[in-house]
């Protein structure tokens, strides 16, 4: 039986949200000599490592507090977006707006929002061990 990984599901939702927000268009890399804009760079670290990094960052947060849960969500989103799209996105002047907009969009869907909170709790508790 295959284990369902909520991180992968949430990353897929994030990709869709981010692509629609940034209007990423593909560029023919053969003509420009550059990689395709919107193409995902190879991941330098594994999914497990990024989960550990996020877990360390959110470990001391009280996820029952609305303020701290929002902060944990932001940490997660910033980490996953940078991991998935490359660190250069952190320098995009629209990055803060993009993260905020994606977080708000995810919060509007009760099922995704609850899954997000459960995922944060799971990441936090797996870092305790």
pLDDT at 17: 67
**Which pTM value belongs to this model?**
0.70
Please work out, in degrees rounded to the nearest 5, the angle formed at the alpha carbon of residue 71 by the alpha carbons of 66 and 75. 145
- Taking the CB of residue 51, how many other CB atoms lie within 10 A of it? 21
pLDDT at 88: 87
pLDDT tens digit string along 68-107?
999 999 999 999 988 888 888 889 898 999 899 989 988 9
Dmax of the chain from CA atoms? 51
pLDDT tens digit string along 21-75?
555 443 333 333 334 444 555 567 888 899 999 999 999 999 999 999 999 999 9
Query: 77 Cβ partners below 8 Å, 6+ apart?
Result: 14, 99, 102, 103
């Amino acid at each position: 039986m295959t284990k369902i990984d909520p991180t992968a599901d949430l990353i897929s939702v994030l990709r869709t949200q981010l692509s629609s927000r940034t209007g990423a268009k593909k560029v023919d890399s053969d003509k420009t000599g550059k990689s395709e804009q919107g193409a995902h760079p190879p991941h330098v670290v594994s999914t497990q490592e990024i989960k550990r990094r996020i877990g360390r960052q959110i470990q001391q947060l009280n996820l029952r507090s609305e303020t701290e849960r929002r902060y944990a969500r932001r940490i997660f989103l910033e980490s996953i977006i940078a991991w998935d799209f490359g660190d250069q996105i952190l320098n995009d002047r629209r990055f803060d707006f993009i993260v905020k907009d994606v977080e708000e969009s995810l919060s509007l869907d009760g099922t995704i929002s609850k899954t997000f909170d459960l995922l944060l709790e799971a990441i936090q508790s797996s870092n305790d061990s």
